[in-house]
């Protein structure tokens, strides 16, 4: 959603991940990269151990979306 609101067009989830990764701090960008790989069928990760980090990433993504809405 952030990518769409910022640029005004629609892209695939993996393209949106590529766009957002440079905007996030290291570990959070790495989680987006892992999610992208899983989306593409290229990775397998148990997200259970990273629940808190995933929540932080979700918050990082939600804040600019809310501001742009």
pLDDT by position in tens, the chain (length 69): 999 999 999 999 999 999 999 999 888 999 999 999 999 999 888 888 888 989 989 998 999 999 999
**Which pTM was predicted?**
0.85
Contact 30, 14 (CB under 8 A): no
Question: How many structural domains is the chain composed of?
Answer: 1
CB neighbour list of residue 68: distance below 8 Å, 6 or more residues apart: 2, 5, 6
* 41 Cβ neighbours under 8 A, 6+ residues apart: none
Q: Measured between alpha carbons, how far is 27 from 53 in angstroms, rounded to an integer?
A: 8
For 18, the domain range is 2-68
What's the confidence (pLDDT) of residue 41? 93
In this prediction, residue 68 carries a pLDDT of 93
**pLDDT score recorded for residue 5:** 95
The tokens describing 8, both together, are: 């005004």
Report residue 25: phi and psi, to 5°.
-65, 160
């Amino acid at each position: 959603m952030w990518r769409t609101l910022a640029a005004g067009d629609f892209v695939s989830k993996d393209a949106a991940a590529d766009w957002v990764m440079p905007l996030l701090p290291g570990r959070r960008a790495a989680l987006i990269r892992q999610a992208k790989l899983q989306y593409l069928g290229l990775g397998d990760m148990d997200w259970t151990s990273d629940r808190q980090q995933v929540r932080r990433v979700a918050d990082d993504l939600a804040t600019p979306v809310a501001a742009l809405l």
